[in-house]
Amino acid sequence: MLYGRRPFTGQLPVTWPKSQAQLPINVGDSAYDPQFPYGWGLTTLTKVPQGGAATLRALGIAAALAEKAGSAQAGRAIVGNARLIVQERTGAKMTAAVAKPFADADHLLTTGRYAAAVQKLTAAYREA
């Protein structure tokens, strides 16, 4: 993995603080401004969808349909694509305005609220 011979993917299971002085730090804190938010990740398995805001709008519609149909696999894939778009745009310029909706989206994903998760990611994209 270190030399790129094998693909990888991973997500943070916790919030990564900017400094030790922020500990403890949790999603929902009034001063939530981490180095990397809960759910932030890297992957070499998929390409980032192109199209930015227009693609996010289409993903929001698809997420609502997946949610209505009860398709967890499709919903997770759609939110994953939206997450990749936001991560590419944000890069290393993480701000609290991006981190909070990004982390909130991950929580919505775990409860099957795919459309709301894409809405949060769209808000993070606008702030990036």
Range(s) of the domain holding residue 93: 71-128
Q: Examine residue 127 and state whether it is found in any structural domain, yes or no.
A: yes
Q: Examine residue 95 and state whether it is found in any structural domain, yes or no.
A: yes
Q: Examine residue 17 and state whether it is found in any structural domain, yes or no.
A: no
Q: Examine residue 16 and state whether it is found in any structural domain, yes or no.
A: no
pTM: 0.86
Q: pLDDT tens across 5-64, in order? A: 888 888 889 999 999 999 899 888 888 999 999 889 888 878 899 999 999 999 999 999
Whole-angstrom CA distances from 126 to 18, 45, 57, 68 are: 22, 25, 12, 26
Q: Examine residue 14 and state whether it is found in any structural domain, yes or no.
A: no
**Other beta carbons less than 10 A from residue 75's beta carbon:** 25
Q: How far apart are CA 75 and CA 61, in angstroms?
A: 11
* Domain count of the fold of the chain: 1
pLDDT at 7: 84
pLDDT at 124: 96
pLDDT at 108: 94
Q: Examine residue 112 and state whether it is found in any structural domain, yes or no.
A: yes
3-class DSSP assignment, residue 92: coil
Q: pLDDT tens across 71-113, in order? A: 999 999 999 999 999 999 998 889 999 999 999 998 899 899 9
Q: Facing residues of 36 across strands?
A: 16
Q: Examine residue 33 and state whether it is found in any structural domain, yes or no.
A: no
Q: Examine residue 103 and state whether it is found in any structural domain, yes or no.
A: yes
